[in-house]
Amino acid sequence: MNQKQKVLKYINDYGSITSWEAYSDLGIMQLGARIDGLQKDGYSFKKEWEQRKNRYGEPVRFIKYSLSEVVND
């Protein structure tokens, strides 16, 4: 299974993915590049900004990707 397939499976299994989840759960360090490749393959993603606090209590922002639809089969 290649990285794009792993990202799609993760989204199908859990509903969304963040860069931290991609790294910690799948070992994928460049989620944005995999999302870009999937978009070129015809997938469409919903992108939501999320905010949490890091271990130092500072606010951090990141994108959560979920699958919108498949444009091309």
Structure confidence at residue 69 (pLDDT): 62
| Phi/psi at 46 (5° precision) | -90, 135
C-alpha–C-alpha distance, residues 2 and 41, integer Å: 14
The domains found in the chain, sorted by start residue, are 3-68 (1.10.10)
C-alpha–C-alpha distance, residues 35 and 39, integer Å: 6
Q: In the numeric block, which tokens belong to residue 12?
A: 């199908």
pLDDT surpasses 70 at 4? yes
Q: What is the pLDDT of residues 8-56, one digit of tens each?
A: 999 999 999 999 999 999 999 999 999 999 999 999 999 999 999 999 9
Sequence-ordered list of residues with C-beta below 8 angstroms from that of 47, at least 6 positions apart, any chain: 63, 64, 65
